[in-house]
Amino acid sequence: MEKAKVIIKKINAGLVKSCKKCGDINVLSRVVLCIAVFMVVVAAGVICFYKPARDAVFSTETHTIVEVKSGDTLSKILGNNGFSMRDIDTISKNLKKDADFTTLRAGRDKIDFVRPSEDEPISKIVIENGPWNKIEIDCGTPDTWQCQKIEIARDTRVAYKEGEIASGSSFYLSALDAGIPEGIILDVYDLLAFEMDFERDIRAGQKFYVLYEENFASDKKVDNGHVLAISFDALRGNVQMFRYVKPDGKSGYYDENGNGAIKSLKRTPINNAKVTSSFSKGRKHPVLGFTRAHKGVDFRAPTGTPIPAAGAGRVIARSFNRGHGNFVKIRHNGTFETLYAHMSKFAKGVNVGTVVRQGQIIGYAGSTGLSTGPHLHYEVIKNGVHVNPLTVKLPAIDNLDASNKALFMERKAKILETIKTLKDSPNQIIRMDGDEKIKK
C-alpha cells in the first residue's frame, strides 16, 4: 500500500505539471481513469493474496460453542454433536497423551466445534480450559484427531489505585470506591492481617494505595495478577509492603527497609525460653491437683523478665483473676488473640485499647494467680478456640539476606517510580519485567 501511495503521488505531480504546460483537459480525465484502474488492481491484489483479509472476506467457517455445565462429560458432549464411539475413544486417548487433559470443568470450560462450512463435517474442536489455555483437536485424514496444547500469551500490565477511608465506611467499601477489584482487596486483607484489625482499627481519613497486576490477552483484560505494593496509614503509622521475587523464584512481601513484611505471631514471645509445660487437652494441674486441660504453653522466666507482645494488635484485657493472676490479652486480627498470664507487673502505658507493635514489652514475668513459680503462661486463641502456640499454622516470617536486600532496594525504587508515573498519567500502559513471569 505504501508503494501505491508513492505512485499516486508521482502521478499527481505529473498531472499538475502537464496541466500547467498545455492545459489539455483530456490528459486530466485519462490520468484519473488510470488511477482508478490502478487502485482496483491493488485492492483486488490485497484481497486475493493477503491471507487474513481473504479469510475475513471469504471464510464460511461455522462455530458451535458448548459451555460445559455440571454433569457434562466430554463423551456426552461429543456424542450430542454426532461423534461415533470410536472417534470419542480416539479423542479422549489423544487428549490424555498429547495434552495431559482428562476432565472438563463445569462453569469454566467451553468447547468450540468448527466446520469449514455449514454442511461439512466438524474439522476442528477447540477446548478452552481456563483463560490462559486451550487445546486444539484437528480432525486429520483419516480421522486421527491430533491434539495440541496452546498457551495464550499473557500481557501483564500494572494498575495503580489510591483512596481514603470515607466517614462511617469500611476499608472494603472505600477500596471498592477507589476502583480496586474485589480479589485484590481480599489479597490486601490477607497481607495486612497481622498489621491491623480491619474491624476496629479503621478511621475516616486513613489513606491507602495499591499497585497490582492486570493480565491482558489481545488487549482485553482477563484477570488480575499479584499485588505489587501496598501503603496504608494504620493507627500505629504508615505501613508499606513491596512484592519481591528472589533470583531462585521464591516471592515475598517486604517493608521499605527490606524486612519481611508479612507479620505473624511469635510462637515463643520470650526468645530461647525453655518450655516447662506444654499445651494439652488434659493434664494434672500442679496447684489444683486434678486433671484439667492446659490451654497454653509455660515458659521458664525469672520474675521481672520482660514479656514482649507476640504480634501487633490491640490490648483487649489488662486485668487480674484467680487463675491467671495479672494477665494481658491482645487481639491481633479477626482470627487471633494471645494471652500472657502470671505477670508480676504490667508495662507502663499498656492499657485496654492500647495498640501495640510486635515485640513491644507489655509486662514482666512473675508468679501471680495459680502458679507454682515464676513463668510465662502463653495462650493463642484462634477463632475463639485455644490452639497449641508451638504447632498452630502461621505465616512464616521471612527476612532477606544482604544480596537480596540490595536487589530488593532496586525493585522498590522501580515500583515507586512506576507509582509516580501512574499517579501523573493513570492511563499509561506500564509493564514491569522480572515479576510477571511467575504465575500465581
Enumerate binding residues for Zn ion (CB under 5 A). Answer: 298, 377
The nearer residue to Zn ion, 110 or 382, going by C-beta atoms, is: 382
The nearer residue to Zn ion, 251 or 303, going by C-beta atoms, is: 303
Cβ(134)–Cβ(150) below 8 Å:
yes
User: Residue 375 CB, nearest distance to Zn ion (Å)?
Assistant: 7
226 phi, psi to nearest 5 deg: -85, 155
User: Residue 316 CB, nearest distance to Zn ion (Å)?
Assistant: 20
User: Residue 289 CB, nearest distance to Zn ion (Å)?
Assistant: 15
User: Residue 297 CB, nearest distance to Zn ion (Å)?
Assistant: 7
Distance CA 232, CA 209 (A): 7
Burial of 298 (0-12, 13-18, 19+ CB in 10 A): buried
- Using DSSP's 3-state secondary structure scheme, residue 99 falls into helix
Which one, of 224, 225, 262, lies nearest residue 240 by Cα?
Answer: 262
The nearer residue to Zn ion, 242 or 378, going by C-beta atoms, is: 378
The nearer residue to Zn ion, 266 or 377, going by C-beta atoms, is: 377
The nearer residue to Zn ion, 181 or 296, going by C-beta atoms, is: 296
**Rg of the Cα trace of the chain?**
34
User: Residue 199 CB, nearest distance to Zn ion (Å)?
Assistant: 29
Q: How far is CA 413 from the centre of its chain?
A: 21
The nearer residue to Zn ion, 134 or 377, going by C-beta atoms, is: 377
User: Residue 309 CB, nearest distance to Zn ion (Å)?
Assistant: 18
Burial of 195 (0-12, 13-18, 19+ CB in 10 A): buried
Distance CA 269, CA 286 (A): 23
State how far the alpha carbon of 231 is from the alpha carbons of 192, 225, 237, 298, 416, in Å. Answer: 10, 18, 10, 37, 11
Characterise 342 by phi-psi region: left (phi > 0), alpha (psi -120 to 50), beta (else).
Answer: left
The nearer residue to Zn ion, 49 or 290, going by C-beta atoms, is: 290
The nearer residue to Zn ion, 30 or 283, going by C-beta atoms, is: 283
User: Residue 277 CB, nearest distance to Zn ion (Å)?
Assistant: 6
- Using DSSP's 3-state secondary structure scheme, residue 92 falls into helix
The nearer residue to Zn ion, 128 or 298, going by C-beta atoms, is: 298
User: Residue 306 CB, nearest distance to Zn ion (Å)?
Assistant: 19
Distance CA 385, CA 162 (A): 37
Strand ranges (E), 186-324: 207-217, 220-234, 237-245, 251-254, 275-277, 280-284, 291-294, 297-300, 306-308, 313-321
115 phi, psi to nearest 5 deg: -115, 140
- Closest residue (Cβ) to Zn ion? 377
User: Residue 414 CB, nearest distance to Zn ion (Å)?
Assistant: 49
